[in-house]
Amino acid sequence: MISAHKLLDIPFHASPNVGGVMQASPSAVVIHYTGNESLSGTVNWLCDPQARASAHVVIGEQGELVQLVPFNHVAWHAGKSQFQGRSNFNRFSIGIELVNPGKLTRVGEQYCAWFGKAYPKSRVVRAKHQHASETGYWCAYTEAQITALTRLILLLKNHYPIQQIVGHDDISPGRKCDPGPAFPLNALRRQVLHIDRHTADHEDTCEQEKDGEVIASQLNIRDSINGKERRGPLQHGQKLVVLEEEAGWYKVQVQETGWVKKEFVSIRDPQPEKDMQWLA
Ligand SMILES: [Zn+2]
């Protein structure tokens, strides 16, 4: 329920980092990630005048909501922004922050956030950001977050003329990466707005890495599928990570990357991906 532009029964922590009342009812929603691991830390920071930033709502990993700014007031979440003929999205959009670490870095067998925390492989999504040329590792949003977010936007749609859901990276390309390729924006748009993404060829596609093991006695590894042998063969039992599959070959990572004949690699069953169900 929304009353006086606030969610009822949801904690409200007023942020001082706000503009005035919007000149018209909000007509867009901008999705962000926090780039950290903590709902309370995010709320504290966005309520600190030094942050000079805010959002209307923050959603934690368990789907908990905290509101910081009434929906008819300008929050400072988008910054310099432009998309489909409109600019300065703070003026007419509702900003929603999802607690998520953002891009992860592979360190040995671990996937670490910029602040050092390691995330389990079940949360790791390998995907290419719409503004990047290479795939990277991103942290999956939780099912609880996506459920809470979907319910919130459906509720907002009942109160305001919401016509558009965009990522911060849609409206501030080059400057912002959030919410990134792990966020199921197409599915959300289909479910809430009944429309597809502005570029129909950009689907929510994520590849899950698979662990494998060499089952041939020796296995050559190559730079490319038709390339020359690059170095001494892998031995039986060698553990590896399968990154991609193409034309009967796996691209694998051992200490370095190369291509091997796939019939000489067995794949271990991946863990069930509960958090990834919404990507279907
Ligand atoms: Zn953002």
**How far is 43 from 114, CA to CA, in rounded Å?**
20
Q: Within this chain, do residues 95 and 214 fall inside the same structural domain, yes or no? A: no
Is residue 197's pLDDT more than 90?
no
Contact 244, 250 (CB under 8 A): yes
Domain that holds residue 228: 210-268
Q: Kindly state whether residue 203 falls inside one of the protein's structural domains.
A: no
Query: Per the domain annotation, does 52 fall within a domain?
Result: yes
Q: What percent of the chain has pLDDT over 90?
A: 68
- Regarding whether 248 and 160 lie in a shared domain, the answer is no
Distance from the CA of 157 to the center of ligand 1, in angstroms? 21
Judge if 225 and 176 occupy the same domain: no
Ligand 1 centroid – CA 96 distance (Å): 9
Tell me, in angstroms, the distance from the centre of ligand 1 to residue 207's CA.
24
pLDDT score at 274: 35
Q: What's the rounded Cα separation, in Å, for the pair 92 and 103? A: 28
For residue 196, name the pLDDT band (cuts at 50, 70, 90).
low
Task: Tell me which of 227 and 189 has the higher pLDDT.
Answer: 189
Q: What spacing in Å lies between the alpha carbon of 201 and ligand 1's midpoint?
A: 24
* pLDDT tens profile 109-151: 899 999 999 999 999 999 999 999 999 999 999 999 999 999 9
Residue-level pLDDT at 53:
97
**Residues 151, 222 within the same domain:** no
The whole-angstrom separation of Cα 234 and Cα 111 is 25
Residue 130: inside a domain: no
Q: CA–CA separation, 123 vs 103, rounded Å?
A: 12
Which pLDDT score is estimated for 209? 60
More confident residue, 64 or 222: 64
Paired with 127 in beta bridges are: 136
- pLDDT in the model for residue 240: 79
Are 156 and 218 in a shared domain? no
In a domain, 174, yes or no: yes
The CATH number covering residue 180 comes to 3.40.80.10
Residues 65-73 have a mean pLDDT of: 98
Q: Of all helices (H) and strands (E), which one includes residue 192?
A: helix 185-192
In a domain, 33, yes or no: yes
pLDDT at 13: 98
Let me know whether 147 and 245 are in one domain: no
Return the minimum-mean-pLDDT range out of 135-149, 159-173, 198-212: 198-212
Choice between 199 and 264, residue whose per-residue pLDDT is larger: 264
The reply to whether 36 and 161 lie within a common domain is yes
* 124 found inside a domain: no
Do both 264 and 236 map to the same domain? yes
The residue among 203 and 272 whose pLDDT is bigger is: 203
Tell me the CA distances in angstroms from 265 to 223, 244, 246, one per residue in order.
17, 13, 14
Write out the catalytic residue numbers: 97
Confidence band for 279, pLDDT divided at 50, 70 and 90: very low
Same domain, 260 and 145: no
77 in any annotated domain: yes
Interatomic CA distance for residues 34 and 182, integer angstroms: 14
Q: Which two tokens stand for residue 118?
A: 């390691």
Same domain, 97 and 152: yes
213 CA from centroid of ligand 1 (Å) = 40
User: Are residue 85 and residue 7 in the same domain, yes or no?
Assistant: yes
Q: How far does the centroid of ligand 1 lie from the alpha carbon of residue 94, in Å?
A: 12
Residue 122 domain flag? no
CA of 261 to the centre of ligand 1 (A): 42
Give the pLDDT mean for 85-93.
Answer: 96
Q: How many domains does the chain have?
A: 2
CATH of the domain at 237: 2.30.30.40
- What share of the chain in percent tops pLDDT 70? 88
pLDDT in tens, 246-259: 767 787 777 656 77
- Residue 196 dihedral angles phi and psi, to the nearest 5°: -100, 170
User: Is the domain of 64 the same as that of 186?
Assistant: yes
